[in-house]
Structure 1
Amino acid sequence: MPSQHFFAISGYKKLFDPVFIESMDTAMKAIGVPHPIFVSGFLATDELIFGLLFCVGFLTRICASVLICMLFAALAAVDMHTMPSNLDFLLSWYSYFFYLPKFPYTIILFSFVQYGEGDWSIDKMSC
């Protein structure tokens, strides 16, 4: 499933690609995070490790839960501030929120938390 690979690839790029490292540092400084270089490296490492574990199906529900927490933090810290402030609350705000790129990944991860791993995962093979 492409969503499983997304987190590992994204974490790798944020950890080793200079362009992504700079954008993470800039984003952390913009939202006022203390020690932005350390925090961006820590988050990228977490995304890479939990993304790889999620990709192979090891501790799937735990990894999905951690990645959901990271997505909610990114939604609250970054994406909510990019939404236009003149949206009415009922329809426009919800429709804009549901089109944010992190929202579908959150729904996919919730399904893994609820239903667990697939038949070819390490979790299933070890039982």
Structure 2
Amino acid sequence: MKLKVIKPFNGKAEGKTLCPGEFIQSNDVERINALVGRGFCVIVALDDAPTASETAPTIPVEVVSDHVEFQGERYHIETIKAALGIMGIRVAHNAKEKAVSNALSALTDEQAQTLSEMLNNNETADPNPEKE
């Protein structure tokens, strides 16, 4: 902060007697409070305070995948959720990759086999099949 001297005093940090009209630059909050509180200085300007965007914590951007792997194949999340719903397995409508993967890992062998057959019969593993 930039302080303006309004009453003469001996500045220990500056090593000299400061006279009214002189300016001091300090970031020591305790010193600033003492000088202003005792009436030796007034605050003239704040240093370049960091903007809110500089001091705000950065939130990592998550890469949200819209595909899930099941038995070595990648399927669209909505396809998996629909198939699980048909089988009677409840998955939240707003479930993301982690929740759908957890639901898939909780399947019994019979349920996994049924789901695999459903997905393979509909050929939904590759949303953009290449025609040969």
Q: TM-score, normalized by length of structure 2?
A: 0.23
Q: TM-score, normalized by length of structure 1?
A: 0.24
Structure with the larger RCO, 1 or 2 (CA within 8 Å, 6+ apart): 1
More helix by proportion, 1 or 2? 1
More strand by proportion, 1 or 2? 2
